[in-house]
Amino acid sequence: MILTSRTPKIELFLRPREVLSLDNRQHPMAIECKNGVIWVTRTGGHKDHILNAGERYIPGASGSIVIEAIGESQVNIVENA
């Protein structure tokens, strides 16, 4: 799934193993795992991140981001002003 939006917050429900690709070049963002568990990686990043419910990841630099749901998950993508 490739996501394009102009809103400051998007709430998504992901099925197990569903993959989401984001472009973090234009607007800084925060990725919040609201329920479930997600795996997050960033192009050029040196490590991957596993987020459990209640955890947040803020990419330190721009680039493509990939999120994969480990199980049923709820994810918020928030513009990080």
- Residue 23 · residue 75 · CB < 8 Å: no
pLDDT at 26: 62
pLDDT at 29: 84
Which residue type, as a one-letter code, is found at position 59?
P
Which pLDDT band, with edges at 50, 70 and 90, does 13 fall under? very high
The model's pTM is 0.82
Q: Among candidates 66, 39, 71, which has minimal Cα distance to 55? A: 39
- Residue 73 · residue 49 · CB < 8 Å: no
Longest Cα–Cα distance of the chain, Å, equals 30
Provide the 10 A C-beta neighbour count for residue 29: 23
